[in-house]
Amino acid sequence: MRMYGSSPGHSENVLISADGLTSMNNEARIPEGGFALLSTTSQNAALAHFITALTFDPYQELLWTGNNTGRVVSFYGAQLDKYTAFLSSTNSNIRALLASETVIFSLTSKRLRANRRQGISLFTHMSDHMTDLTCMHRLSDVPHKLLLGGNQQQIIQFDVETQKEIRIVSVKQKNCLALRSNQKFLFSSDSEGNVTLRHLTTVDAIHALQAHQGSIADFDVCGNKLITCGYSPRMGKMAGDRFIMIYDLRTLRSLPPVPLPMAPSYCRFLPSYSDGRIMVCSQSGELIVMDLNEQSSQMPIQLDTNGFAITSLDVSTSKQCIAFGDQTGLIHLFSDRMEPIFNENSWGTDFPDPIAFHPPVNIDDPEPSYGVFPLPFPVDDHYASDWPEQLCIRRFRQPDPISEKVIDSMRMVQFVGYAHNPRAGTSLRGFNVCPYTSSTHDKCSNAMKNDDILHIPKFYLRTEGKLTSKAEEIDFKRYNRTEFNALENSVETSPACMLLLAMYHLMNVRTVFLSHFCYLESCISCEMNLLFRLLTDRPVSSVVSAKNFMKTFRSIDDGKKWADAVANASLAQTVRLFMQVFSKILDKELSETTAGVALRKEMEISFTLNNHCIRCSEHYQSALAQLYISLAYPTSNEKIGFCTLLEKTLNCPEQNEAICQKCGKLARFASTRRVRLLPNILALDMTASTETEQAFWISHIQAFESRSVTAPNSVTEHKVKLCRYGTECRNPNCRYLHNDDSKCETNVLTTEGTTTYYECPHYIPNSVHIKITDGICTVSENKMENSTSFHLVAAIFIINEDEETQTEEHLVTAIRSKQDSCWILFNSWSVTRISENEALRLHACWKLPAILYYVQDRENGGKEAAKNESRAIIPRSVFWNDLDSNKIKIPERGSKVAIYAKYAISEAGEKRVSEVSAVDEDGSCFISSVIKEPGIKSDMDNSQTLKRVSLKLLYLIQEKITIIGYKIEHLFEMLNIHVSEEQVKDIVLLYRPLFKRSLSLNALAQHFFGESVDEEETDPIDLARLSLRLYTKFNELKEADEADINIAVLTHALETNIS
């Protein structure tokens, strides 16, 4: 087949092959203004589906196509190389395509889909207003909004950023089949032959032009001209009009129509050379490029479509290319030049990395060159020569102060001082006389030099090693010789563990959470209830894990945000953010519950804010309540005491922005606050997260802190010998000292048996007294009339083992002991007694305060206080949410139940409880739960959270029900529940041989009952019943004095099978 192309102003014709210019020799050329076939490709070579939508990407060299099966395919460049392909909708044709900066929008009749150019789906929008959509348009002035129209009497205004429909505009016309716009108007066409001019913002109709008697096939706008092509009724049928209608938008009047030799279905402006240059095309493939000002030559170009119709058309933004799509799925690209571009300034297109081919190396070559092997550089990796991030921060260093001698000899000329350069006659005359130094580092170094003790006491250092079951039995007495249990501390749980320990030893706060009970799936107050129960009930010198608390905390939205925010934050910033999020979650969870009222009574401090609007000078009051106070550090270098700092924090004015109640506009407010009510427990956030706050502590610690010195003429101290094995001693009851820091752990005993003290001044006082007068607080270390006394009972400190990098930071908690004047220091699982001077002592380089708790009346701490605990009673209703609750028979008090649990490995590689089943003495199942993670929905009927299962087991423990199970202790360990030895019967311990060998459940079942069980495949309910049978069998053997004989026979049988 041959095609002839012509252009206005040229009489010569160019012969072009049907395969396009790419297959012709270099002598073929295109006359100026003419278009010829450049390339042809199929959207899908395997299946032929007609092209329903086609658009050029205005940002990249891409052509986007969509077919009647919902598939979107993109092609790169003039050669139409396939780039990406994805399925936008199933069995629904693509009505329109639109490309933005980052997103490709595809429209079907009832949905809008957004994908990245690589095919990744971003969102899909559907609504009741989408009934039969056909077009979409994007305004250049408002790029984040889309206009959707179709065969319906509504135009939808859709916001891409919020993914919501922000306006639904009803139109008077029958429908809206196409949308165009220019600088002044929005244009829409309908099936009744009208082109309606609309307002760009409100989409309201302004004027309507009756262009055709029937439907409008296509129209386009350029400058002040509008062209349309459409249909008119003839002989009772719709037939295409063989002319183009032209309108002048300045006068809104029609110009003489342009007659054509065929009925056009598409029309577009091609303003490359003039604004009157257009192209028209019919469905049969006849293409005409012409000028409205010169209509002499209208020679059509016939497309090779094998008789199939043209179904879509688009023109590139550069006006150099025209793309056609037909019924067979072919895309035809026409151009007016040999090497066209789609856009004038296209962005770069992302392509996959090419496969690297390296030169071959002989396997027998003993000395290959290292340069042959390229060094890969992954995105998440770094070279050993890369500098740390903290050393790559751009900072300005301050020079040392100029000496007084230079200042006295300085000569002032206007405002510039001149002094003699001592290096003027040397080669160093261009260098600084006073070298640059780091003032902060010098102050910290001087503080270290002036301190008598230059090392960190051992009980402050991070505890190394990992706990195992054997370590729990052997080493706990060495790490903890007190009457308190510890929390296992890690990098992820450090802020939570130390804060929970401090709150646990505040008796009133502990009682608040022990009395709390609710059915919420993710409730950190309930997790604190379980954790506090375990800390009280567990035998002394054991470690409790807070992993369940952290899982619940991270499952809450605010907890997730906290985890993301502190990924790369310092420890001080992590603690500060945790206090904010923790207080916010508690206030939201407890709200107006009994526990919430009690907690606010204990810890909430109330303020009255006197607000002044800077904009309208309005004055009004508001209330403010906080569970803790963040210390307001001064901006000046003035040395102030702790009481003065706390007083300024309580009375400090504030400035913020808010909506004014009078003028109703956003304005700045100046607020002064007055204290209405002081809490029973005053919590202070002391974290120093900025350089200014750290510099404050460096200067104030040097000014206010001092080390204790030995009293002159004091009596001789009682000397205790050091252990000859030092820190390697393995005797848990060794009576000798094992390190140099033991003197700091206990008070020094004199020969008379009394304690010798020397008062050491500290920046943090042991007690403060606060007096309120008309809402203004006065804070002092001395007792005042009508003042409230607060005593320091708990403190959390940040320990920095490496001051240069600040990477070895961790938290410790110090608790005041009731039995004596000592303090208890919790450092992970290490618990140590220290003196009060050691607890209150700060160090600028390695020990700074984080959180302090002052209490009005001294708390009763430790195990003695546990006698006065008030715990919530677990009701029977914890069983009532099951689907078969009406059939469940809850065991009575003092009865026996059997429990079996199955475990699984989570995605993080941790072992977790997956199923828990329990049966009563009759073998009836009353617990059958599949454990689901908090915050994750499950489609199983019997799925429950770990918290709900824990409450059910706590009810059994509360009712003194004997619990039987195989390795049941491990379940209680993971659930953070303690059961007394008299109330739990573990099958493993009952049937353990004399030489301490544990037997499997399968071995016991085969020996006693001749049954074989697979613990992985068998239902946990049947395994719980088997545990109950084994317990009954053990009691029978014990009564007949045959237990030891049967165990010996079973052990011999197992050894025979093994051999």
Percent of all residues in the chain with a pLDDT value above 90, rounded to a whole number: 35
Give domain status of residue 770, yes or no. no
Query: Of 130-139, 247-256, 439-448, 651-660, which range is least confident?
Result: 439-448
Give domain status of residue 974, yes or no. yes
For residues 809 and 571, the answer to whether their CB atoms sit within 8 Å is yes
Alpha-carbon distances, residue 77 vs 28, 884, 931 (angstroms): 21, 65, 54
* pLDDT the model gives residue 932: 77
- Of 419 and 127, the one with more pLDDT: 127
What amino acid is encoded at 773 in this protein?
T
Q: What contacts 368, CB < 8 A, 6 or more positions away?
A: 361, 362
Mean pLDDT of the 111-134 span: 94
Mean confidence (pLDDT) of the chain? 81
Residue 559: in which H helix or E strand, if any?
Answer: helix 557-565
In the predicted structure, residue 359 carries a pLDDT above the cut 80: no
* pLDDT the model gives residue 93: 92
Give domain status of residue 355, yes or no. no
The strand pairing partners of 543, in sequence order, are 486
Q: What is the CA radius of gyration of the chain?
A: 41
* pLDDT the model gives residue 423: 74
* pLDDT the model gives residue 905: 86
For residues 146 and 158, the answer to whether their CB atoms sit within 8 Å is yes
For residues 197 and 187, the answer to whether their CB atoms sit within 8 Å is yes
* pLDDT the model gives residue 860: 45
- Of 329 and 708, the one with more pLDDT: 329
Confidence band of 1004 (pLDDT split at 50, 70, 90): confident
Question: From the DSSP assignment, how many helices (H) and strands (E) are in the chain?
Answer: 22, 54
Residue 684: φ, ψ to 5° = -120, 130
The strand pairing partners of 220, in sequence order, are 227
C-alpha–C-alpha distance, residues 351 and 1048, integer Å: 71
Mean pLDDT of the 48-60 span: 93
In the predicted structure, residue 220 carries a pLDDT above the cut 80: yes
**Tally of residues, the chain:** 1059
* pLDDT the model gives residue 749: 32
Residue 1021: in which H helix or E strand, if any?
Answer: helix 1020-1039
Give domain status of residue 534, yes or no. yes
Single out the residue in 572, 600, 628 at which a domain terminates: 600
What amino acid is encoded at 350 in this protein?
D
Cα–Cα–Cα angle for 424, 427, 432, rounded to 5 degrees? 65
Single out the residue in 545, 565, 600 at which a domain terminates: 600
Indicate if the alpha-carbon torsion angle 830, 831, 837, 840 is positive or negative.
positive
State pLDDT tens for residues 16-52: 433 444 333 344 456 566 788 999 999 888 788 899 9
Mean pLDDT of the 440-467 span: 60
Residue 852: φ, ψ to 5° = -125, 145
* pLDDT the model gives residue 1051: 59
Q: What contacts 536, CB < 8 A, 6 or more positions away?
A: 863, 866, 869
What amino acid is encoded at 241 in this protein?
D
State pLDDT tens for residues 300-326: 788 888 889 999 999 999 999 999 999
In the predicted structure, residue 711 carries a pLDDT above the cut 50: no
- Of 431 and 432, the one with more pLDDT: 431
Confidence band of 63 (pLDDT split at 50, 70, 90): very high
| DSSP track, 872-917 | PPPPGGGGTTSTTTTT--PPPTT-EEEEEEEEEE-TTS-EEEEEEE
* pLDDT the model gives residue 61: 95
CA atoms within 13 A on the CB side of 246: 19
Query: Of 158-167, 345-354, 550-559, 939-948, which range is least confident?
Result: 939-948
Query: Of 95-104, 668-677, 857-866, 1032-1041, which range is least confident?
Result: 857-866
Confidence band of 745 (pLDDT split at 50, 70, 90): very low
Dihedral through CA 630, CA 636, CA 640, CA 645, nearest 10?
Answer: -20
Cα–Cα–Cα angle for 396, 401, 403, rounded to 5 degrees? 150
3-state secondary structure 234-287: ECCEEEECCEEEEEECCCCEEEEEEECCCCCCEEEECCCCCCCEEEEECCCCEE
Give domain status of residue 592, yes or no. yes
- CATH assignment at residue 904: 3.30.420.10
* pLDDT the model gives residue 686: 92
Q: What contacts 499, CB < 8 A, 6 or more positions away?
A: 578, 579, 582, 796, 851
Residue 207: φ, ψ to 5° = -155, 150
Residue 452 DSSP one-character state: S
- Of 438 and 908, the one with more pLDDT: 908
C-alpha–C-alpha distance, residues 345 and 342, integer Å: 9
* pLDDT the model gives residue 708: 46
Confidence band of 937 (pLDDT split at 50, 70, 90): low
Confidence band of 228 (pLDDT split at 50, 70, 90): very high
Residue 901 lies in domain: 876-1058
Alpha-carbon distances, residue 414 vs 303, 417, 419, 421, 424 (angstroms): 85, 8, 14, 20, 23
Confidence band of 805 (pLDDT split at 50, 70, 90): low
Q: What contacts 835, CB < 8 A, 6 or more positions away?
A: 744, 745, 746, 747, 821, 822, 823
Confidence band of 1000 (pLDDT split at 50, 70, 90): confident
Percent of all residues in the chain with a pLDDT value above 70, rounded to a whole number: 82
Indicate if the alpha-carbon torsion angle 892, 895, 896, 901 is positive or negative.
positive
* pLDDT the model gives residue 595: 87
* pLDDT the model gives residue 883: 46
State pLDDT tens for residues 620-658: 888 888 999 998 888 777 788 899 999 988 888 877 787
Give domain status of residue 636, yes or no. no
Task: Report the number of distinct structural domains present in the chain.
Answer: 2
Residues 605-631: b if buried by 16+ CB within 10 A, e if exposed: bebebebbbeeeeeeeeeeeeebbbeb
- CATH assignment at residue 567: 3.90.70.10
Mean pLDDT of the 439-460 span: 58
* pLDDT the model gives residue 448: 47
Structure tokens at 327: 């019924």
Which is nearest to 811 in space by CA: 834, 830, 790, 792?
830
Residue 770: helix, strand or coil by DSSP? Answer: strand
State pLDDT tens for residues 575-609: 999 999 999 999 888 887 888 889 988 999 998 88
Indicate if the alpha-carbon torsion angle 120, 122, 127, 129 is positive or negative.
negative
For residues 645 and 635, the answer to whether their CB atoms sit within 8 Å is no
Rounded to 10°, the helix 494-504/524-537 angle is 60
CA atoms within 13 A on the CB side of 709: 8
| DSSP track, 676-694 | EE--SEEEEE----SHHHH
Which is nearest to 832 in space by CA: 812, 851, 852, 854?
812
In the predicted structure, residue 114 carries a pLDDT above the cut 50: yes
The strand pairing partners of 749, in sequence order, are 755
State pLDDT tens for residues 238-287: 899 999 999 999 999 999 999 999 999 999 999 877 788 899 999 999 99
In the predicted structure, residue 742 carries a pLDDT above the cut 70: no
* pLDDT the model gives residue 739: 54
Residue 491: helix, strand or coil by DSSP? Answer: coil
C-alpha–C-alpha distance, residues 446 and 465, integer Å: 34
C-alpha–C-alpha distance, residues 705 and 450, integer Å: 12
Structure tokens at 532: 């506090």
* pLDDT the model gives residue 1047: 60
Q: What contacts 1005, CB < 8 A, 6 or more positions away?
A: 1011, 1012, 1013, 1026, 1030
The two beta strands, 411-413 and 830-834, are unpaired
Residue 350 DSSP one-character state: P
* pLDDT the model gives residue 825: 92
Give domain status of residue 417, yes or no. no
Residue 448: helix, strand or coil by DSSP? Answer: helix
Confidence band of 477 (pLDDT split at 50, 70, 90): low
Q: What is the largest CA-CA distance in the chain?
A: 128
In the predicted structure, residue 718 carries a pLDDT above the cut 50: no
Single out the residue in 567, 600, 633 at which a domain terminates: 600
Give domain status of residue 560, yes or no. yes
The strand pairing partners of 683, in sequence order, are 853
C-alpha–C-alpha distance, residues 303 and 670, integer Å: 75
In the predicted structure, residue 747 carries a pLDDT above the cut 70: no
Confidence band of 9 (pLDDT split at 50, 70, 90): very low
Confidence band of 934 (pLDDT split at 50, 70, 90): low
Tokens 């059910």 locate to 952
Residue 662: helix, strand or coil by DSSP? Answer: coil
